[in-house]
Homo-oligomer: A and B are copies of this chain.
């Protein structure tokens, strides 16, 4: 009988994880979560290469002084050769880079793409909103959507959902799936500035953002529009429309989404639908009657807070949801999907406890 030499056994037991785009906000949040992941703590997972483009050669501590245990790690180039030496690769890159990296890595590498490239199923939507050829579609990392958990089990390619699609799809999915609304949905979602990434743009400067709220991508122009529609359209035969308006507010983290659709049910009936949909979910939490989500309650956590209301005068269902855009909206969702793909406990390394005030 053949035996692995000892070093190989050891090697097989420890999965090495690389994070590409480690100097950015998504990459930093993946690292923050991994550092507390029980797999990293017990050594079955190992944080390997941290790579980036322009920041290669610098210390991680210059970019993320909050990640003290990794402060002295030096960032490497995001080359396929380096990434290929890992079992799990998180991509926290601008869209357009993932396809080439994925092609250069073995099929057995678990690639978890925090970018948009492989989220949309409809090539025309992709091309209209992103202006480049469609790269394809990967299993979609939103386990709470019907059927998604099975698709993620054992997956080796995962498209992490966008932050707005996470906050809004989870808010409306039960109502659409249960048919308690006409799926003509109006959404206004307030976001913190980190959703735009660590990007040098005048309109993201602190002086521009503080003390101000502003809408952007109004009128259906935001790239997350087709992704939200895709998620909700999959749940009903009726034609779904989504009017989505993002609003930038002066905070670093958090999305508060207000989602409205015509309904004829009562608030109690609507709550029942949501309790049934999310009663067993570890991260999606329907607040008790009278409590309304606030983003501070989910900062740093993977929780989704929801409240469900019916305006009986306007005949509208109003669902409010709060997430941390960097955690559940990006890196937490990514780790949750990694856990499922690797057969680890789904909640490992993730918490429902926020850092507040």
A residues with a Cβ closer than 8 A to B are 25, 28, 32, 35-36, 59, 61-62, 64-69, 184, 186, 188, 190, 192-194, 198-202, 204-216, 218-220, 225, 241-243, 245, 247, 249-254, 256, 258, 260, 262, 267, 285, 287-288, 291-301, 303, 305, 307, 309-316, 318, 320, 322, 351-357
Contact = CB atoms under 8 A, between A and B. Distances in A.
A65 B241 contact: no
B258 A247 contact: yes
Contacts of A314: 184, 220, 241-243
A296 B353 contact: no
A296 B212 CA distance: 5
A353 to B, nearest CB: 6
Chain copies in the assembly?
4
Contact of A300 (B28, B198, B214, B300): B300
A11 to B, nearest CB: 27
Most B CB within 10 A of own CB, among A303, A307, A314, A354? A314
Nearest to A65: B297
B66 A355 contact: yes
From A67, A303, A320, residue with most partner B Cβ within 10 Å: A320
16 contacts: A35-B353, A59-B288, A186-B260, A193-B205, A205-B206, A206-B208, A210-B210, A210-B250, A211-B295, A213-B294, A214-B296, A215-B256, A218-B309, A241-B315, A243-B311, A245-B318
3 nearest A-B residue pairs (beta carbon): A219-B309, A214-B294, A66-B354
Contact of A250 (B61, B184, B205, B250): B250
A312 B219 CA distance: 8
Q: Which of A32, A201, A202, A357 lies at the interface centre, i.e. has the most chain B CB atoms within 10 A of its CB? A: A357
Given A219-B309, A260-B186, A66 B252 contact: no
A188 B210 CA distance: 20
